[in-house]
């Protein structure tokens, strides 16, 4: 019993040191530049503890000293900032018609953002894993060539992701039961850093929480725009994953209830049902609906030019395009009103093509949310994401840095 008690005690002291490291890193991240004395005064840790922790964090390349304070009474103090020069997180994203990789340093600054045309839905899982591995190796070469160490890699997928990083279902990609994390680790031949997989929506809302204009909002939703539509949900400052990690799969909510024009039926969805949110607001659905000629020369594999055509038509006042966008916006608003009733978020941001088309989608969506939410008038803000089409990759890069931010020291 005694030895067990001792081991508990040792573990507890270790845990305290890990937690205290996280406190110091977080303080410096939010308040840099700041002195050791500032950290002690603001965190409640004693000065000797802060000095010891800061020394360790400097040795491991997580903090660095930068100059002395000015305009300050008393002895000048050495200021501390996060050291972005040594450690990097990598994030990848499987988009509708591209793969994206972002490398970000500890301070969250993107070091590289590469986009590569790729149609994962037609390529299939094996070719996608090969392409992800190739892109990763190129990014790792660039990053390590600049003298930095990769701490981890997280891939964002438009579908369901389980705790092992496998993808049980991604209807928009036509994937079922794909052990993505394991396959990518194998393809990278044990790269020496952790390889994780998450939903693109979870990674995107994590990026919003950290980097977007609504960073720090405790009740925040990011709705992805792409072939799939997924919701990343932050409630009370925490990411909601649900029991199996499948929370936020709102893309297959039926939104085509109510009268449809005569002779039409609810659009077919990748999942096999009809009238889902993804079948109305997914990028392929929007392009098909608003640009009936887009697929006249074969399936669309590059959505950006088509979205730009829709923007140009909408700007020019093209009535069918504007009406079509307003109708998509109403259906989108219906889905958002369900989220608002469930979660009562302060802010809902839409990403991908939904952000690109926001000037024409969101007025109708806001009206629908206002009309449909129960209780007092909704005060939720509905806005376009400012993080562009790479939000999930940025979130993936940030996720790879999370263990360090939680106070674990990097191995390197």
Residues within the interface to Zn ion (CB under 5 A): 252, 269, 271, 273, 276
Q: How far is the CB of 338 from Zn ion (least distance, A)?
A: 15
What are 80's strand-pairing partners? 34, 65
**CA 316/CA 321 separation, integer angstroms:** 10
Pick 77 or 271: Cβ nearer Zn ion: 271
Q: How far is the CB of 158 from Zn ion (least distance, A)?
A: 12
Other C-beta atoms closer than 10 Å to the C-beta of 75 total 8
Spacing of C-alpha 395 from chain mean position: 4
Pick 276 or 281: Cβ nearer Zn ion: 276
Pick 276 or 339: Cβ nearer Zn ion: 276
Q: How far is the CB of 255 from Zn ion (least distance, A)?
A: 10
What are 91's strand-pairing partners? 102, 154
Pick 36 or 252: Cβ nearer Zn ion: 252
Handedness of CA 30, 36, 37, 42 (dihedral sign): positive
Q: How far is the CB of 267 from Zn ion (least distance, A)?
A: 10
Instruction: For residue 214, give Cα distances in angstroms to 25, 171, 223, 356, 382.
Output: 21, 30, 14, 18, 11
Pick 47 or 273: Cβ nearer Zn ion: 273
Q: How far is the CB of 334 from Zn ion (least distance, A)?
A: 15
Instruction: For residue 86, give Cα distances in angstroms to 59, 143, 244, 268, 374.
Output: 11, 10, 35, 49, 50
Q: How far is the CB of 228 from Zn ion (least distance, A)?
A: 9
Pick 87 or 331: Cβ nearer Zn ion: 331
Q: How far is the CB of 134 from Zn ion (least distance, A)?
A: 31
Do residues 118 and 97 make contact, with C-beta atoms less than 8 angstroms apart? yes
**CA 203/CA 395 separation, integer angstroms:** 4
**CA 341/CA 338 separation, integer angstroms:** 5
Give the contacts of 120 (CB within 8 A, at least 6 positions apart).
Answer: 94, 95, 99, 128, 173
Do residues 245 and 236 make contact, with C-beta atoms less than 8 angstroms apart? no
Do residues 112 and 142 make contact, with C-beta atoms less than 8 angstroms apart? yes
Q: How far is the CB of 45 from Zn ion (least distance, A)?
A: 51
Pick 285 or 313: Cβ nearer Zn ion: 285
Of 324, 171, 158, the residue nearest 226 (C-alpha): 158
Q: How far is the CB of 62 from Zn ion (least distance, A)?
A: 44
Q: How far is the CB of 80 from Zn ion (least distance, A)?
A: 50
Give the contacts of 13 (CB within 8 A, at least 6 positions apart).
Answer: none
Pick 258 or 317: Cβ nearer Zn ion: 258
Do residues 372 and 333 make contact, with C-beta atoms less than 8 angstroms apart? yes
Pick 34 or 285: Cβ nearer Zn ion: 285
Pick 88 or 276: Cβ nearer Zn ion: 276
The number of CA neighbours under 13 Å toward the Cβ of 39 is: 32
């Amino acid at each position: 019993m005694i030895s067990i008690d001792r081991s508990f005690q040792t573990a507890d002291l270790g845990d305290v040191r890990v937690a205290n490291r996280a406190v110091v890193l977080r303080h410096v991240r939010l308040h840099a530049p700041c002195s050791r004395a500032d950290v002690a005064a603001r965190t409640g840790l004693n000065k000797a503890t802060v000095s010891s922790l800061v020394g360790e964090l400097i040795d491991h390349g997580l903090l660095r000293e930068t100059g002395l304070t000015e305009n300050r009474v008393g002895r000048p103090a050495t200021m501390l900032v996060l050291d972005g020069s040594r450690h990097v997180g990598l994030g990848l994203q499987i988009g509708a018609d591209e793969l994206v990789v972002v490398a970000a340093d500890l301070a969250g600054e993107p070091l590289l953002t590469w986009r590569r045309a790729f149609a994962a839905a037609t390529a299939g899982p094996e070719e996608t894993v090969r392409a992800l591995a190739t892109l990763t190796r190129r990014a790792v070469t660039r990053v390590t060539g600049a003298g930095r160490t990769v701490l981890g890699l997280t891939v964002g997928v438009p579908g369901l992701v389980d705790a092992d990083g496998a993808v049980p279902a991604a209807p928009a990609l036509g994937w079922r039961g794909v052990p993505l994390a394991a396959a990518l680790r194998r393809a990278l031949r044990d790269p020496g850093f952790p390889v994780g997989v998450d939903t693109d929506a979870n990674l995107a809302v994590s990026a919003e929480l950290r980097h977007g204009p609504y960073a720090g909002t405790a009740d925040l939703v990011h709705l992805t725009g792409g072939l799939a539509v997924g919701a990343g949900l932050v409630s009370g400052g925490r990411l909601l994953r649900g029991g199996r990690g499948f929370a936020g799969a709102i893309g297959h909510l039926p939104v085509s209830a109510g009268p449809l024009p005569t002779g039409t039926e609810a659009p077919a969805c990748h999942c096999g049902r009809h009238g889902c949110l993804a079948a109305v607001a997914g990028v392929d659905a929007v392009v098909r609906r608003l640009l009936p000629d887009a697929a006249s020369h074969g399936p669309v594999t590059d959505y950006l030019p088509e979205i730009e055509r829709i923007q140009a038509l909408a700007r020019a006042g093209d009535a069918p395009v504007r009406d079509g966008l307003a109708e998509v916006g109403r259906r989108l608003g219906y889905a958002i009103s369900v989220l608002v009733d469930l979660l009562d978020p302060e802010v809902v941001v839409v990403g991908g093509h939904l952000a690109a088309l926001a000037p024409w989608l969101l007025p109708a969506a806001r009206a629908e949310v206002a009309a449909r939410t129960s209780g007092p008038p909704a005060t939720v803000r509905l806005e376009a994401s400012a993080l562009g089409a790479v939000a999930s990759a940025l979130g993936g890069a940030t996720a790879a840095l999370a263990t360090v931010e939680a106070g674990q020291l990097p191995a390197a």
